[in-house]
Structure 1
């Protein structure tokens, strides 16, 4: 794909019981001219009904999973469906409203100029960020830098990003990737391993006072720790190629 290639970009939003904020997020994305694919990850009736109403609006489609798959499972289903819709790129964004949709044009501009790149959000936090979560992210950052033998991805946990769909869906078909909160990190590492170049796009992030987090401290930290271990051993046999690529660059 070249910089002059025609891009078809849409937004994929994994949703699990975010009935109120997802409406604002979806409508803000439509205001930027993006088609929106909502992926209902087994939401409860109140949220499911809100998504049904949203799907009646122009440019918004609903993909409903029969049972909860986890954030990663919902994103993977959405990306695969989006490729089937003929999209070339997908903008992933969380449903809880923490990402600043006014930054969408900056992400789209990067994708237009660099269509073969993975555009990864790099958060700029305000005072609303919980300090424990902010500092806890650095353990993952360090592991990602080790497992890619690079600083290519500055923040692998940010759920605001643009994927080149052909590359990422092909990777998902060939590789088992974590289906829950480990997905965002693992797919970023594996895209680097696959040679997909990365652009770190600064973006503002806030934590709404009424925000609902589905991060389960014990379960998800165990999943993420197991993922880092698995990726570390995957890195070891890839290390010569990764180091050669850095040297050649």
Structure 2
């Protein structure tokens, strides 16, 4: 196994240095993907790359394409450099970086599996956001005919890149906030085992959220509908998985 870390970044210049400093002790190669950030954030990214260039690679996108587009660029870079697995985390500091060794250990024990973060929220999390996740997870369970995926929206994951490469070759994965839902369902359809790891999730360290309530919820509803029709085409195979 050869594992790296992929971090999509869009205007998180305040939180980013703290995230990079917390990751450094793990000794893993890191790909920072600048998804068309502001000049201020770009300066922070370039400073991180200059200071930590021996283990950190900065990839710059010419314009903002969405979280999924940035992560997909990271996947391509990782695969081209021979990495077999990739940890995905957010740049805003909401994920518990100290849990990375737990994800690495689970992946070592099950290298073919997707290790998916199952978020544990504090009391500060608004009920509206939690209800939204429950709605999404209900549709994911319908679209996989399974409870295997504990949470489809958590961006803290460890991917087996061979499976990612196959699924990306056979489908156009969503590029924006619906990316996490789309790719995990399609990996499950492909036969990838999902292992859910509870992990504490807090509000962004810098207080910046790029989730657009109405636009992104509409986008997520559309991906559920698209996946539903994809599930219908795969219905016999999904049913048979429960009998194997």
Q: Is the structural similarity TM-score above 0.5? A: yes
User: Does residue 1:200 correspond to 2:212, yes or no?
Assistant: no
Q: What secondary structure is seen at the aligned counterpart in 2 of 1:95?
A: coil
Cα distance, 1:209 vs. partner?
Answer: 6.5
Alignment deviations for residues 22-75 of structure 1 (CA, whole Å, 9 cap, x no partner): 111122112112211000000000000000011121311100001101001101
Query: 1:157 pairs with 130, 153, 156, which one?
Result: 153
Runs of 5+ unmatched residues, structure 2: none
Could you tell me whether the CA contact under 8 Å between 1:128 and 1:208 is conserved in 2? no
Could you tell me whether the CA contact under 8 Å between 1:40 and 1:74 is conserved in 2? yes
Give the number of aligned pairs: 242
Q: What secondary structure is seen at the aligned counterpart in 1 of 2:243?
A: helix
Larger mean CA deviation between 152-161 and 216-225 belongs to 216-225
Query: 1:236 pairs with 214, 219, 232, which one?
Result: 232
Q: Which residue does the alignment assign to 1:90?
A: 86
Q: What secondary structure is seen at the aligned counterpart in 2 of 1:63?
A: strand
Distance in 1 (CA, whole Å) between partners of 2:156 and 2:111 is 17
User: Does residue 1:8 correspond to 2:17, yes or no?
Assistant: no
Could you tell me whether the CA contact under 8 Å between 2:92 and 2:206 is conserved in 1? no
Q: Which residue does the alignment assign to 2:72?
A: 76
Q: What secondary structure is seen at the aligned counterpart in 1 of 2:6?
A: strand
Cα distance, 1:130 vs. partner?
Answer: 2.1
Runs (4 or more) in structure 1 with deviation over 6 Å come to none
User: Does residue 1:28 correspond to 2:46, yes or no?
Assistant: no
Alignment deviations for residues 198-234 of structure 1 (CA, whole Å, 9 cap, x no partner): 1001111111464211011121111111100010011
Query: 1:40 pairs with 31, 34, 43, which one?
Result: 34
Distance in 2 (CA, whole Å) between partners of 1:212 and 1:35 is 26
Structure-1-length-normalised TM-score? 0.95
Distance in 1 (CA, whole Å) between partners of 2:175 and 2:117 is 20
Cα distance, 1:172 vs. partner?
Answer: 1.1
Cα distance, 1:12 vs. partner?
Answer: 0.1
Alignment deviations for residues 134-167 of structure 1 (CA, whole Å, 9 cap, x no partner): 1211000000000000001000100000000111
Q: Which residue does the alignment assign to 2:12?
A: 18
Distance in 2 (CA, whole Å) between partners of 1:209 and 1:178 is 26
Cα distance, 1:177 vs. partner?
Answer: 1.3
1:116-135 matches, within 5 Å, as 116-135=112-131
Cα distance, 1:99 vs. partner?
Answer: 0.3
Q: Which residue does the alignment assign to 1:168?
A: 164
Q: CA RMSD in A?
A: 1.0
